[in-house]
Chain A
Amino acid sequence: MTARIGVVTFPGTLDDQDSLRAVRTAGAEPVSLWHRDKDLKQVDAVVLAGGFSYGDYLRAGAIARFSPVMETIIEQAKAGLPVLGICNGFQILTEAHLLPGGMLQNNHLHFICREQKLRVETSGTAWTADYTAGQEIRIPLKNMDGRYVADERTLDELEAEGRVAFRYLDVNPNGSLRDIAGITNAAGNVVGLMPHPEHAVEPLVGTGRTDGLGFFTSILKKLVNA
């Protein structure tokens, strides 16, 4: 048996095809979800892919958060539905208050596209169980608004509760506080990060590494074994 993993397409979503491919490559069944549709088609988990939903006008992720599909996702995420937000998806998750903090424009004010080294800080989430805590991976990073910020108390809380899921290594590419590249909610079902694991699932394309595949095999195993 396998699991059904949905990938949402908002107007302006760009990495939905890549995310669907990553889900398929991991062995799960990819399901396309449409922003206007409240129905999640009985998927077992959801990926919010990268891009510029609604043009990122107003603020990245700010409009997507109010779309019909997000109403259902917010409700079910609170009840335990695994959700992974990549890049714009991460921005949407913070706008939806499923994850704390927010993203500002990169401190160098340029779009940046590069291969980025990360440390996986916890294997205790639905999306990182196939990694070991402390494992170093390299996956693509590409964004304009990637600088993670939150108030000191929130940051301390995240650290104390082991909810900083990924940290930038070698180079902090955008000025994110405490080198934070991604975080998880307390339950570990909702995870968001700026770099792109879905671009690193086959050796042929992208940077030629498969370090991102673990996100998708992690969730598949969890769902199948549940």
Chain B
Amino acid sequence: MTLDTVKHASETPEAEQPWKELGLKEDEYARIREILGRRPTGAELAMYSVMWSEHCSYKSSKVHLKQFGEKVPVNDAMLVGIGENAGVVDVGQGYAVTFKVESHNHPSYIEPYQGAATGVGGIVRDILAMGARPVAVVDPLRFGAADHPDTRRVLPGVVAGIGGYGNCLGLPNIGGEVVFDACYQGNPLVNAGCIGVMKHEDIHLAKASGPGNKVILYGARTGGDGIGGVSVLASETFESTGPAKRPAVQVGDPFQEKLLIECTLEIFREQLVAGIQDLGGAGLSCATSELASAGSGGMRVELDTVPLRDSSLSPEEILMSESQERMCAIVEPDKVDRFLEICEKWDVIATVIGEVTDGSQLEIFWHGEQIVDVPPRTVAHEGPVYNRPYARPAWQDALQADDANKLARPADAAELREQVLKLVSSPNQASKSWITDQYDRFVQGNTVLAMPEDAGMVRIDEKTNLGVAMATDGNGRYAKLDPYTGAQLALAESYRNVAASGAKPLAISDCLNFGSPEDPDVMWQFAEATRGLADGCLQLGTPVTGGNVSLYNQTGETAIHPTPVVAVLGVIDDVTRRTPVAFAEEGQLLYLLGDTHEELGGSAWSQVIHDHLGGMPPKVDLEREKLLAEILISASRDGMIDAAHDLSDGGLIQAVTESCLRGGKGARLVVPDALDSFVFLFSESAGRAVVSVPRSEELRFTDMCGARGLPVTRIGVVDGDEIEVQGEFSIPLSELRTAHEKTLPGLFA
């Protein structure tokens, strides 16, 4: 086969090209021809096809994501915003923190182990590329029905993949979520988040500037795995029949990644790079075009110098390969030797593959012949933008009218007791330790809190005890009922979780998981959710630093619930003041903070007892969330509370059960006069938390709440070895523990 050079492309304008097979639309292909003034070469077509994919170009979501840049709260902490590999915030004492959540949904369904493993690898390299040492990971996961046979294939593979990769990197896994819902059956959501820490002066950006600087590719050799992962896999709807897509899934080598991390950090310490970018989705196409585009524009690459795992790969395949554990650095000529020396020390292969030029074109050569000659901005940053049509779904009103508050409630105390046990043993509310015990949460020796705590927390300075916390939350059921409110509830819950741990929420990253943007119903959900999230962030003062959009999470005509997952990052000046969830001290008083209304729409109770989804989700009051957070943080700092647990899915009884089991102590609860016992136990009103207060602090604590105007209700005491709801029922802790802990091992062990 003749090499499709730039010259050859100019001479053969009518040659047939596989643009359709590569996932491009007809008008997109026409636009590429218009940009270049000729037909693209095979290599150029490969680059455009992956970079203009939904996954890389955000072509359907961009018009909505703009709001995150427009509705920006005043926040002094932001150092680097949206657009880089990850956002960066100031956490004080000269430290900066970078964090991000990303999706690896589609690959994880096709090949659960490698899909999930490389999801961890990708997000860790994003964080590393900012100049930071990765310090912790989190994994928000969503699967189909817990008892569906395919969930038994997907879940154990995903969990083993996250563990198999993450545990080998030496990064503690400190949080995340596991949710089951039939809507995720053919489209599990495997999101992965990472936190990195650096000093302010160490921030690195992905750009190639300075003509004459060398382009160095280092890390693993390039192989034939993951070709077209972003365009073919992540940017199309799965059909129930169709060819196997496994070759499009990447294969990870965590050992290589660990070496890459240590090697890169040593390179940063010696200030050897002018720009750096990781290779993830779209591989070399992405790294070269983005680096060149963000710099002065010109770059020349000798593609035949790229070290290969498979010598038969074509230039197109090399450009599209998503082989893992690779990075691309821009290095001044006099620093190249030292750079290569450090790579040798860590047994990392490094190759100079090109240089920055003073031109404006990205030029790629194959054995001396030019195969790419493009303006890099048109590949990386000026892809197509769609204003997809959207409309409120016809079924939305009927769904909201199907009021969950009207569902049959327990008739007597015995039935109430039975429903409590059903709730805490249901897959979504049951203990997740069978999963999280497969992740290393101790490594690095800085883990202060990890799951099942409300937020994960790590110490970042051993002398001052400065720390950061992160929680991730998202409730697709709420978002299905009302996407605007659902997105704000995800934000509010994550924010509340961070505050409950004692840390001050600073900024967020989001992973927006939705169905096909070509469906106006889905686009409406997306538009509403992004609007809700942007408005919410503005009001809470927590900017969006970056994130990821995952569309086409649907099988045939059926989309997943709209699932915006929000990760809130918080800072705590002294981690010794953190607040755990465990009720550990007998005699301490239990207080409920916030207002409880009759709100059961989208609730865990309605799902577990009635298999129902309808009505309206709980109301959001972000001013109340702010006040609650301030109280929780002050109380933690001043030693007024010994435990706190946010109230969310499952309501008060779920939170109290978890806190009691964690601390190994029971509780006696009194239903407040104004509330019905059922609503008291199961309502999911937002803006609430339960806290354990030492008797000596009671007055000081309630005075503070009173003075600040936060409703506070004494609901009981930590005591005994059962949970007793006075006048209703009691359940021994041992019975609760069995119910809560046996479910997941029973399904998956």
Least CB distance, B416 to chain A, in whole angstroms: 34
A186 located at the interface, meaning its Cβ lies under 8 Å from any Cβ of chain B in the complex:
no
Choose one: A21, A55, A112, A199; the contact of B437 (CB below 8 Å). A112
Q: Give the docked Cα–Cα distance between A144 and B168 (Å).
A: 11
Decide yes or no whether A134 CB sits under 8 A from chain B.
no
B442 adjacent to A206 (CB under 8 Å): yes
Chain A residues with CB under 8 Å of B254's CB are 52, 55
Q: Is the CB of B255 within 8 A of A54?
A: yes
Residue-wise interface mask of A (130-168) relative to B, using a CB-CB cutoff of 8 A (1 in contact, 0 not): 000000000010101000000000000000000000000
Whether B444 and A18, one on each chain, are in contact in the complex, defined by CB atoms closer than 8 angstroms, is yes
Instruction: List B residues 613-657 near A (Cβ within 8 Å).
Output: none
The distance in angstroms between the C-alpha atoms of A21 and B442, with both chains bound, is 14
A113-B441 in contact given A11-B347, A15-B170 (Cβ < 8 Å):
yes
Q: Given the interface contacts A198-B445, A204-B459, A205-B447, does A57 sit within 8 Å of B255 by beta carbon?
A: yes
Which residues from A are CB-within-8-Å of B440?
111, 113, 142
Contact of B459 among A54, A56, A205 (CB under 8 A): A205
Task: Mark out the residues of chain B between 159 and 202 whose CB falls within 8 Å of any chain A CB in the assembled complex.
Answer: 160, 163-164, 167-170
Closest to B465 in A: A204
Asked if residues B442 and A142 are in contact (CB atoms below 8 Å), the reply is: yes
Query: Is A15 in contact with B443, judged by CB distance below 8 angstroms?
Result: yes
Name A12-27 residues within 8 Å CB distance of B: 12, 14-15, 17-18, 21-22
Question: B138 in the interface, Cβ–Cβ < 8 Å?
Answer: no
Contact B445 A55 (CB under 8 A): no
User: How far is it, in angstroms, between the C-alpha of A14 and the C-alpha of B167 when the chains are bound?
Assistant: 9
Within the complex, the shortest CB–CB distance from A221 to chain B, in Å, comes to 23
Name the distance in Å between B695's Cβ and chain A's nearest Cβ: 23
Q: Is the CB of B437 within 8 A of A114?
A: yes
A55 cross-chain contacts in B, Cβ below 8 A: 168, 253-256
Q: Does B387 contact A (CB under 8 A)?
A: no
- Within 8 Å by CB of B749, from A56, A108, A114, A204, lies A108
How far apart sit A52 and B171, CA to CA, in the bound complex (Å)?
A: 13
Chain B interface: which size bin? 20 to 34
Contact A17 B444 (CB under 8 A): yes
Expressed in whole angstroms, the Cα–Cα distance for A204 and B466 within the complex equals: 13
Chain B nearest CB: distance from A26 CB in Å?
14
Verify if A65 is at the interface (C-beta below 8 Å from B).
no
User: Which residues of the other chain, B, contact A21 by a CB distance below 8 angstroms?
Assistant: 445, 462
Query: A4 near B: Cβ within 8 Å?
Result: no
- The residue from A12, A114, A198, A205 contacting B258, defined by CB atoms under 8 A apart: A12
Query: Is B390 located at the chain interface by the 8 A CB criterion?
Result: no
Give bound CA distance, A57 to B259, whole Å. 14
A207: which B residues are within 8 A, CB to CB? 442
| From A110, A142, A144, A199, contact of B445 by CB (8 A) | A199
A206 to B169, CA, bound (A): 18
Bound together, the chains give a CA A55 to CA B257 distance in angstroms of: 10
A117 within 8 A of B: no
Residues of B within 8 A of A30 (CB): none
A residues in contact with B253, CB < 8 Å: 55
Task: Determine whether the beta carbon of A111 is less than 8 Å from that of B167.
Answer: yes
Q: Per-position contact with A for B717-749: 1 when CB-CB < 8 Å, else 0?
A: 000000000000000000000000000000001
Please indicate the chain A residues that have their CB under 8 angstroms from the CB of B436 in the complex. 113
Contact B255–A205 (Cβ < 8 Å): no
CB nearest neighbor in B for A199: B442
**Is B446 at the interface (CB under 8 A from chain A)?**
yes
User: Contact partner of A51 among B170, B437, B442, B575, CB < 8 A?
Assistant: B170
> Chain B nearest CB: distance from A16 CB in Å?
9
A113-B438 contact, Cβ under 8 Å, with A11-B258, A52-B168, A55-B255: yes
A112 to chain B minimum Cβ distance, whole angstroms, is 6
User: Most chain-B CB neighbours within 10 Å: which of A12, A21, A114, A144?
Assistant: A12
> Within the assembled complex, what's the spacing in Å between the Cα atoms of A21 and B444?
10
B17 at interface (Cβ–Cβ under 8 A)?
no
Closest to A140 in B: B442
Taken residue by residue from 44 to 71, chain A's Cβ proximity to chain B (1 for < 8 Å, 0 otherwise) reads as 0000000110111100000000000000
Q: How far is the CB of A211 from chain B (nearest CB, A)?
A: 13
Interface membership of chain B positions 431-457, coded 1 if the CB is closer than 8 angstroms to chain A and 0 otherwise: 000001111111111111000000000
> Does any Cβ of A come within 8 Å of B576's Cβ?
yes
A118 to chain B, nearest CB (A): 16
A205-B443 contact, Cβ under 8 Å, with A111-B167, A111-B438, A113-B438: no
Across the interface, name the chain A residue whose C-beta is closest to B263: A11
The 6 closest A-B pairs by CB, nearest first: A55-B255, A14-B170, A18-B445, A199-B442, A111-B163, A111-B438
The chain A residues found within 8 Å of chain B, CB to CB, are: 11-12, 14-15, 17-18, 21-22, 51-52, 54-57, 108, 110-114, 140, 142, 144, 196, 198-199, 204-207
Q: List 16 A-B contacts (CB under 8 A).
A: A15-B445, A17-B445, A21-B462, A55-B253, A55-B255, A110-B163, A111-B163, A111-B440, A113-B437, A113-B439, A142-B440, A142-B443, A199-B442, A199-B443, A199-B445, A204-B576
| New A-B pairs, 12, CB < 8 Å, besides A14-B258, A17-B444, A110-B160 | A11-B259, A12-B258, A14-B169, A17-B445, A18-B443, A18-B445, A55-B254, A108-B749, A111-B439, A113-B439, A142-B442, A198-B445
